[in-house]
Amino acid sequence: MRKINYIILHHSATDYQAHKDDTTGKIIARTICERAQEDWKREYPDYVCDYHFIIGHAGNVFRGQPITSPSWHCTNYEINLISVGICFLGNFENIQMPMLQFNSGVGLVRDLMKQYNIPLRNILRHRDVVSDITHSANSTQCPGKNFPYVPMLDALRDGEPFFDIGEDYPYISEVKTLKQLGIIKGDGNGNLRPDDYITREEAMLIAYRILQMMQN
């Protein structure tokens, strides 16, 4: 079995259905897989899909590439080898994600995190991945500006105080306590950024909060 360290979230940047009778998105999901098979049939005759899972507008989960095989979904060769690609049908540059699709995505990601022991900080949007072509992140809009990434991470967070550290972080219990006491609050986007320098302003705020706590 290959190592799986990352889950990468995509949108299809298409309609969420092939036509109005395609209520679950099954037909458009199949079309997406068939196009990928066509693209890769010479190099990889067994290739099934660029994504391991495709999630429809009504929450149906369609299987694509077998999870035991890598697929070419995030423009980074190394990450492709050790990741699972999940595609949410629809174009989230333009539309909002329905609750059924959101909940189904959260359920699938949660199961995969458990099964492969993937930490929350390794759940990334396609655009967070450094592209092999441009050598930088944000080389794509995928999965779209309306993709509910932070709400999804929030739903997945199981007592982890910040997105960018997990249970394996060496000072996790200290961080949890300090966060509960309101002494540290992170960067405002849910991250601790433990390797960044602290400013004088932040140091003063932390000292002030400790003083206030001691006085109460």
Q: Are 36 and 30 in contact (CB under 8 A)?
A: no
Q: Is 52 in the site for Zn ion (CB under 5 A)?
A: no
Q: How far is the CB of 51 from Zn ion (least distance, A)?
A: 9
Distance CA 123, CA 25 (A): 24
Distance CA 10, CA 26 (A): 17
The one among 4, 7, 10, 109 contacting Zn ion by CB under 5 A: 10
Give the nearer residue to Zn ion in terms of CB position, either 124 or 205: 124
Tell me, by CB under 5 A, how many residues bind Zn ion.
3
Q: How far is the CB of 142 from Zn ion (least distance, A)?
A: 3
Single-letter residue type at 9: L
Residues in region 17-46 near Zn ion by CB under 5 A: none
Q: Give the interface segment with Zn ion, choosing from 9-17, 160-168, 195-203, 206-214 (CB under 5 A).
A: 9-17
Distance CA 138, CA 125 (A): 10
Binding mask 131-170 for Zn ion (x = CB under 5 A): -----------x----------------------------
Q: Sign of the C-alpha dihedral, residues 33, 42, 10, 70?
A: positive
Single-letter residue type at 76: N
Q: How far is the CB of 140 from Zn ion (least distance, A)?
A: 6
Residues in region 68-127 near Zn ion by CB under 5 A: 126
Angle CA(172)–CA(174)–CA(179) in degrees, nearest 5?
Answer: 95
**Selection from 104, 34, 22, 108 nearest residue 65 by Cα:** 34
Residue ranges that bind Zn ion, judged by CB under 5 A: 10, 126, 142
